[in-house]
Amino acid sequence: MAGATIEIENLTKDYPYGFLHLKKKRSLEGLTMQVEDGEVFGFLGPNGAGKSTTIKLLVGLIFPDAGTASILGKPITDIEMHRDIGYLPEQPYFYDYLTAAEVLDYFARFHDLTAADRSERVKRMLKKVGLETAGKIQLRKYSKGMLQRVGLAQAILHDPKVVILDEPMSGLDPIGRREVRDIILELKREGRTVLFSTHILSDAEMLCDRVGVIVGGKLRGVGAPGEIVGMKTQGMEILFELPASTATSTASANAAGILAKAAKTGDRYRLQVTEEELYAALEQLRSAGAKILSVTQVKATLEEYFMHLIEADRAQAAAVEVSGK
Amino acid sequence: MKRAGAVALNTFREAVRDRVLYNLVFFALLMMAAAIFVGQISIGIEELVIKSLGLSAISVIGLLIAVFIGVGLVYKEMDKRTLYALLAKPVRRWEFLLGKFGGLVLTLAVNTVAMAAGLLAALVYVKQHLERTDTVLFVAIYFILLKLMLVVALALLFSCFSTPLLAILYTSAFYVAGLFVEEMRTFQFATPNPAASWLLRGLSYLLPNFENFNVMAAAAHGREIPGALILQNTAYAALYCIIVLLIAAAVFSRRNLK
Ligand SMILES: Nc1ncnc2c1ncn2[C@@H]1O[C@H](COP(=O)(O)OP(=O)(O)O)[C@@H](O)[C@H]1O
Ligand SMILES: [Mg+2]
């Protein structure tokens, strides 16, 4: 078995649209990347970037216009490949006339498991995703977050070697997100390979060995989360309070200049400075009698990074257009 | 095959949990009860009335179920995206289609048996006993089931690429046109226009010939049905279903889900 666990080569997908489907919109362009054995790989990109398109190509729900991909050395067109993968669709939906236990048992039937094994696994999975008490309720009564949990359970029910999750944290409350993160980390500990998509940087930073950033159907970079995004700090933010007693004193006069630069919300001030200015600013605040609440690094948000890439795209497109004339 | 079986059982389970189904079957049984009273008014032909009304009810209710559930078999799973998680499992698309087909045919078979039991009960109630000629009823019911299988196969095919509303239209059009296949065969020799003759000939082969399956009149009158017709209809239905399912599989296997 040569190569990576997930091997993607020049994968391209066009969606036809318009009159008689004559026009085509390219939603994935020449994607080439690898996911290595046992790693957690985050697929990062804004909405409409092509994340779901890539994942649906990998699991065989749609077919590429060009390019190939293989998982565990088997081409994605090979049905055998499906034995070893688990997939959580984006905003999953299941047969609403079934209970969670029934739907999991149904999916388990496609994996050559004995009846006893199936029922044992179903119970274990329901417990794992926190649905043990809701297992006998029809899915039509489930909330979005609960369906997401069912989706996760069916994706890992058969102990797949490769787990592919499309926006696993979306639709979940903070506790749910945390539980999903724990499950992903557990999968990693068990030596499984995980590919998941997200548009939330912190999820990726917390979990991934590597991330791939995709914008506008094109892969923009692959690497450790820190290398790719957000590491260029934009300075430091100081959060502080000024006791009312000192507000009129001469000390505060010293701080007047710095206060003018700070943003006030309620009793608190927020001041952004460069890394070089940090100690001088802290000194000034100390002499003004300010109470420092926190100092944090300000990173570019993923949104800003995406915007930056999208703007670069537009500039390039404009340049091409000009030179073309 | 095991995987197609799992899909079939789930399809059956969905139908069984749908209240509409019970209402339809209940309606059919109600019609048979009504037939008893209609029969009592028309003295002497009460048996005939019960048999023809009963068989018609079985056929019509079966057709309604076949068409209305059939056109949603694939479309609904694509539209609601219940298919996404399933197709990522080690299941081939044709296995899924076969399972869907089998599940609805199983549903129809169970319903038809239930309605047939109702019909026999009505007969026994009126006649107090059954005769040898009444066995023709079973042949008529078997033919209805074969006909329903053809309709399910067609509905399933249309369900692979069009919305339920259009699929209902297509399936009904095929069904109605299929009732006139014999007429097309005779008329193709009568028309002087060679193009029309060709068209009619082509259509008469393409369309399912539903006329052969209609033995309700014979059954109602207790006339014998030749064994050759039973064989012929069975083979015809099997072949036609296989061809339609193969086309459906070819269409669906290439299809991109939304
Ligand atoms: N079924 C479809 N038909 C037409 N266009 C589609 C379809 N699915 C996705 N697209 C387009 O392809 C692009 C990528 O979509 P998607 O892969 O869903 O993005 P993401 O998952 O990153 O949010 C989008 O511009 C979207 O509009
Ligand atoms: Mg998406």
* Domain residue ranges of chain A, discontinuous segments joined by +: 4-226, 233-299
Report the gap between the CA of B172 and the closest CA in chain A (Å).
Answer: 26
A12 φ/ψ angles, rounded to the nearest 5 degrees: -135, 135
This prediction's pTM: 0.85
Chain-chain contact of B2 with A82 (C-beta, under 8 angstroms): no
The amino acid present at B101, given as its one-letter code, is F
Take residue A325 and report the two structure tokens written for it.
């004339």
| Nearest residue by C-alpha to atom 16 in ligand 1 | A50
Report the gap between the CA of A125 and the closest CA in chain B (Å).
Answer: 16
Q: Which residues of B133-150 are buried (b: 16+ CB within 10 A; e: fewer)?
A: ebebbebbbbbbbbbbbb
- The CA-atom distances, in angstroms, between B53 and each of A44, B125, B225 are 64, 15, 19
Contacts of A87 in chain B (CB under 8 A): 84-85, 88
The list of chain B residues with pLDDT below 70 reads 39, 41-44
Q: What would the mean pLDDT of A283-309 be, rounded to a whole number?
A: 79
Give the model confidence (pLDDT) of A313-322 as tens digits.
Answer: 777 767 665 5
Give the model confidence (pLDDT) of A8-42 as tens digits.
Answer: 999 999 998 888 888 888 999 999 999 999 999 99
The amino acid present at A254, given as its one-letter code, is N
Question: Topology of domain A233-299, per CATH?
Answer: Alpha-Beta Plaits (3.30.70)
* Inter-residue contact B138 to B147 (CB < 8 Å): no
A79 to chain B, any CB pair closer than 8 A? The answer is yes
Take residue B189 and report the two structure tokens written for it.
């020799």
* Strands lying side by side in the sheet with A66-71: A23-35, A6-17, A66-71, A74-75
Chain-chain contact of A61 with B257 (C-beta, under 8 angstroms): yes
* Inter-residue contact B204 to B185 (CB < 8 Å): yes
**pLDDT value of position B30:** 84
Ranges of H-type helices in chain A:
51-58, 100-108, 115-128, 144-156, 174-189, 201-207, 225-228, 250-261, 278-287, 302-324
Please name the residue that has the structure tokens 């939330």.
Answer: A200
Burial of B165 (0-12, 13-18, 19+ CB in 10 A): exposed
Ranges of H-type helices in chain B:
2-16, 19-41, 46-70, 75-79, 83-87, 93-127, 136-159, 164-178, 181-190, 194-206, 216-220, 227-253
pLDDT at residue A325 tops 50: no
* Inter-residue contact A235 to A288 (CB < 8 Å): no
Confidence of residue A155 (pLDDT cuts 50, 70, 90): very high
Contacts of B107 in chain A (CB under 8 A): none
Residue of A25, A44, A53 with the most ligand 1 atoms within 8 Å of its CB, for mutation: A53
Going by DSSP bridges, is the β-strand pair A268-273/A233-241 parallel, antiparallel, or unpaired? antiparallel
**pLDDT value of position A256:** 73
Note the CATH number of domain A4-226. 3.40.50.300
> How does DSSP classify residue B250?
H
Q: How far apart are the first and last CA of chain A?
A: 50
pLDDT at residue A1 tops 50: no
Tell me what ipTM this predicted complex has: 0.89
